[in-house]
């Protein structure tokens, strides 16, 4: 115990001195590993492992200040532990160190470390009698070692390693490399033989083909002379047909262009006419409403005024549908909480409001987005007597998010769903709505680079999904 304490103090003094003198950290780690190896030669295993722990602490402390992860130096410490576990025959602990070495080697992105890892792994399997794994590891190590070299250089590398194994009296390495070398020579010989055979077959095939081509050419020339006249006649007819088709296309294209221009002009005139009618009628209706005595008349006039306003809104959105809204970054959670708080005035007393929105930011137009969600919440409140109305947000990718507005109300009949987003449907009672709200929301969603649709798979009420393609940020 006393010896261990003295050793720890010595290493601590060495580390402190190295740091104080601004000594290279790599030299300090290598010096510590040399001390560990010296301890193992004297069978002082506890002391050697203690040195490794102190080296880990040294690297960890330096990482805290310099922000350098020191993957290569951690690799060396793990390799020293592997050496010791191999010496004391602890395969499970050695396997753990191999896994750690692999992690550090990959993280360091240093090719020589990754090559060294495979060699260490091969020696580990070799030591514990795992011949197949050892051979595979040697194969991986050698493949990395000679990557990009020529055939002659690879063969020389095999011979150098075999000579080295004999000099070091390492029969396991010599045996493994001899197997790999024999396999490699067989594969090279097979490849050369295959290439030679392929060349001979190709030459034979080319000779046969040349003979056939000459025979075919003689008979083909005779046929071509007869066909050329027929082809010339066919080409003449084809050219005439193409010219005629082109002229027809030009005439038809001009007609279609005139029709399209006329249709666009008519649409513009319709929009202007509707806007003009609205401007003329709205003041009159407002005046009539002011003078109306009964509530029913006022409700009917309010419904007409709402209709005029929604029609103008829809036409305006339709005319500018390809003009995207300006965007800004908004906090989705705060935004949804604010909208839900505003919408509670429409909720029945027995209806609970639920928000399931993460802390995320999205780049969009807050006013346009709020208009859609308010309308969906108001519709949900109108058709939900009890239960819940929920607003959710789900991040589908870095540039796609979904707002889900769900209620547990009476739902929407399947027969009505296909026409929900189509404008100008027949309305029985304007006081109950002009059915332009969802078409307007759909157009706004389009201008937000998104899409609004109903979830047909949801059966416990109604769920609308607003999918936006915009930049998301946590």
**Measured between alpha carbons, how far is residue 167 from residues 48, 164, 173, 191, 272 in Å?**
30, 5, 11, 32, 98
pLDDT number for residue 131: 85
Give the pLDDT confidence of 7-49 residue by residue, as tens digits. Answer: 554 555 555 544 444 358 889 899 999 999 999 998 899 999 9
Question: To which H or E segment does residue 3 belong?
Answer: helix 2-20
Are 408 and 471 contacting, i.e. CB atoms less than 8 angstroms apart? Answer: no
- Domains detected in the chain: 1-147 (1.25.40.10), 319-473 (3.30.565.10)
366, exposed or middle or buried, with CB in 10 Å at 0-12, 13-18, 19+? middle
Give the pLDDT confidence of 450-466 residue by residue, as tens digits. Answer: 999 999 999 889 999 99
pLDDT number for residue 369: 93
Are 440 and 313 contacting, i.e. CB atoms less than 8 angstroms apart? Answer: yes
**Measured between alpha carbons, how far is residue 45 from residues 38, 89, 457 in Å?**
10, 13, 66
pLDDT number for residue 466: 95
413, exposed or middle or buried, with CB in 10 Å at 0-12, 13-18, 19+? exposed
Backbone φ and ψ of 96, nearest 5°: -60, -40
132: CB partners within 8 A, 6+ apart? none
- Residue-by-residue DSSP string for 62-98: HHHHH----HHHHHHHHHHHHHHHHHTT-HHHHHHHH
Structure tokens given for 215: 């025979």
Give the residues of the chain that fall short of pLDDT 50: 1-6, 9, 17-22
68: CB partners within 8 A, 6+ apart? 62
The single residue listed with the structure tokens 């010791």 is 84
Each residue of 287-318: b (16+ CB within 10 Å) or e? eebeeeeeeeeeebbebbbbbbebbbbbbebe
């Amino acid at each position: 115990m006393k010896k261990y304490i003295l050793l720890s103090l010595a290493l601590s003094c060495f580390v402190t001195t190295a740091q104080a003198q601004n000594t290279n950290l790599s030299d300090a780690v290598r010096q510590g590993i040399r001390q560990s190896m010296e301890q193992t030669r004297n069978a002082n295993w506890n002391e050697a492992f203690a040195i490794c722990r102190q080296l880990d602490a040294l690297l960890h402390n330096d990482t805290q200040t310099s922000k350098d992860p020191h993957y290569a130096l951690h690799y060396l410490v793990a390799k020293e532990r592997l050496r010791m576990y191999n010496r004391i025959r602890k395969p499970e602990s050695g396997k753990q160190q191999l896994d750690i070495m692999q992690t550090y080697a990959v993280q360091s992105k240093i090719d020589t470390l990754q090559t060294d890892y495979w060699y260490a792994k091969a020696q580990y399997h070799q030591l514990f009698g795992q011949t197949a794994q050892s051979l595979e590891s040697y194969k991986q190590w050698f493949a990395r070692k000679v990557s990009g070299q020529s055939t002659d250089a690879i063969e020389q590398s095999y011979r150098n390693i075999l000579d080295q194994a004999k000099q070091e009296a390492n029969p396991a390495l010599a045996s493994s490399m001899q197997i790999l070398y024999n396999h490699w020579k067989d594969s090279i010989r097979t490849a050369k033989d295959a290439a030679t055979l392929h060349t001979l077959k190709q030459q034979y095939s080319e000779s046969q083909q040349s003979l056939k081509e000459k025979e075919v050419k003689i008979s083909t020339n005779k046929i071509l002379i007869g066909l050329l006249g027929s082809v010339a006649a066919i080409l003449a007819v084809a050219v005439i047909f193409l010219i005629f088709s082109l002229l027809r296309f030009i005439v038809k294209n001009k007609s279609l262009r005139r029709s399209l221009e006329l249709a666009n002009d008519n649409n513009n005139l319709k929009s202007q006419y509707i806007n003009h009618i609205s401007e003329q009628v709205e003041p009159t209706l407002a005046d009539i409403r002011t003078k109306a005595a009964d509530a029913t008349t006022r409700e009917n006039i309010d419904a007409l005024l709402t209709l005029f306003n929604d029609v103008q809104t829809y036409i305006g959105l339709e005319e500018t549908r390809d003009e995207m809204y300006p965007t800004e970054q908004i906090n989705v959670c705060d935004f949804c909480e604010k909208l839900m708080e505003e919408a509670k005035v429409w909720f029945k007393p027995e209806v609970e409001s639920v928000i399931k929105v993460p802390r995320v930011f999205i780049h969009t137009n807050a006013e346009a987005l709020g208009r859609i969600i308010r309308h969906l919440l108001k519709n949900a409140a109108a058709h939900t007597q009890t239960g819940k109305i929920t607003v959710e947000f789900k991040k589908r990718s870095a540039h796609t998010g979904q707002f889900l507005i769900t209620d547990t109300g009476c739902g929407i009949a399947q027969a009505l769903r296909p026409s929900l987003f189509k404008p100008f449907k027949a309305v029985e009672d304007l006081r109950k709505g002009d059915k332009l709200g969802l078409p307007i929301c759909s157009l706004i969603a389009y201008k937000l680079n998104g899409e609004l649709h109903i979830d047909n798979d949801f059966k416990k009420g109604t769920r609308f999904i607003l999918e936006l393609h915009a930049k998301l940020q946590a």
